[in-house]
Amino acid sequence: MSQPSGEFVRVCEVGPRDGLQNEPARLELADKIDFVNDLSECGFPEIEVGSFVRPDRVPQLADTLEVFNGIDRRPGITYSALVPNLRGLDRALEAGVDKIAVFTSATEGFAEANIGCSINRSLELFGEVVAGAAREGLPVRAYVSCVISCPYDGPTPVEDVRSVCERLAALGVDELDLGDTIGTATPEAVTRLYEGLGPDLEPSRTVLHLHDTNGEALACAGRALDLGVRSFDAACGGLGGCPYAPGASGNLATEALARLIEERGFTSGLDRSAIRDLGQRMRRLLGTDGGGGAEPPTSPD
Ligand code: MG
């Protein structure tokens, strides 16, 4: 297979976490382990394996520790997990994660609904978690949900996104991940977002996390590439959505994003055909149509 020679665009596969957490079907532990192991053969620099939130909040991911214990880690791949608080950090350390992710929102309505506290309180909690991760030498990603609009508060003022990002950066997080949680972004909205973030939050310093509710995720990714974004999240097969955002569709499909990156002359290091096959297998296992630009299954089983 010929490799494009362009600039590298980093794709973090979030299917095992963000994909599975909102699929109604529950995968067996062995299937989750197989999923991560197969993703490890597809060229990803990073795979988000699971979440150490309370099991009653996200029962689909209650066995994240067991998944970490069961996978074959390939050298060079960062295996990460969501961590909401110090207790979650302890469990993440027990699992031997390579990186953690904390998560808050640009809007108060979603923060209250998703994490049960105000943005201010979430940042207080993350201060402890980020400091604890730093002591262990673990890098920290910070998710900011609802950067375009919120299912509870409506359109999100970009100043609110900037404010939360600046406060997270001040806490010492390594990576800011901007989530279009309910998938209402348009290319024009992506341009307004990055213009509004200002010179201290250059596009190249952020990760963009798109959902395909309106079928525009790929167009938004294309615009983000034009603006200088070089890091994206995506989920194999377009799996998942968001359990706290009514109407949220699946994540941008990794195979569609990888194709776009290649068509634009960039390189991702991803094995597109392996990802497409794996996405189809996972959709069959989960009994879901998938979304996010995923290609339809070629066989009906
Ligand atoms: Mg998502």
Q: Measured between alpha carbons, how far is 234 from 211 in angstroms, rounded to an integer?
A: 9
**Which of the four pLDDT bands, split at 50, 70 and 90, describes residue 1?**
very low
Closest CA to 12 of 231, 255, 281, 261: 231
CB atoms within 10 A of CB 173: 24
Taking the centre of ligand 1 as the mean of its atom positions, its distance from the CA of residue 157, in whole angstroms, is 20
Cα 92 to chain centroid distance, Å, stands at 17
Confidence of residue 301 (pLDDT cuts 50, 70, 90): very low
Q: Tell me the CA–centroid distance for residue 236 and ligand 1, in Å.
A: 11
Q: How do residues 250-296 score in pLDDT, each as one tens digit?
A: 899 999 999 999 999 999 999 999 999 999 999 999 987 655 666 54
Show the tokens assigned to 209.
């996390």
- Of 143, 166, 145, 165, which Cα lies nearest the Cα of 156? 145
Close Cβ partners of 90 (under 8 Å, ≥ 6 residues apart): none
pLDDT of residue 130: 97
Q: Give the Å distance between the CA of 264 and the centre of ligand 1.
A: 23
Residue of 42, 165, 220, 242 marked catalytic: 242
Note the pLDDT of residue 247: 59
Q: Record the tokens describing residue 32, joined without a space.
A: 């989750």
241 CA to centre of ligand 1 in angstroms: 5
- Domains contained in the chain, CATH given: 10-286 (3.20.20.70)
Q: Is 242 designated active site?
A: yes
* 224 in Cβ contact with 233 (< 8 Å): no
Could you tell me the pTM of the whole model? 0.93
Give the DSSP per-residue string, 143-205. EEE-SSEETTTEEPPHHHHHHHHHHHHHHT-SEEEEE-TTS---HHHHHHHHHHH-TTS-GGG
Q: Measured in angstroms, how far is the CA atom of residue 145 from the centroid of ligand 1?
A: 9
Whether the CB-CB separation of 193 and 224 falls below 8 Å is answered with: no
49-58 tens-digit pLDDT: 999 998 888 8
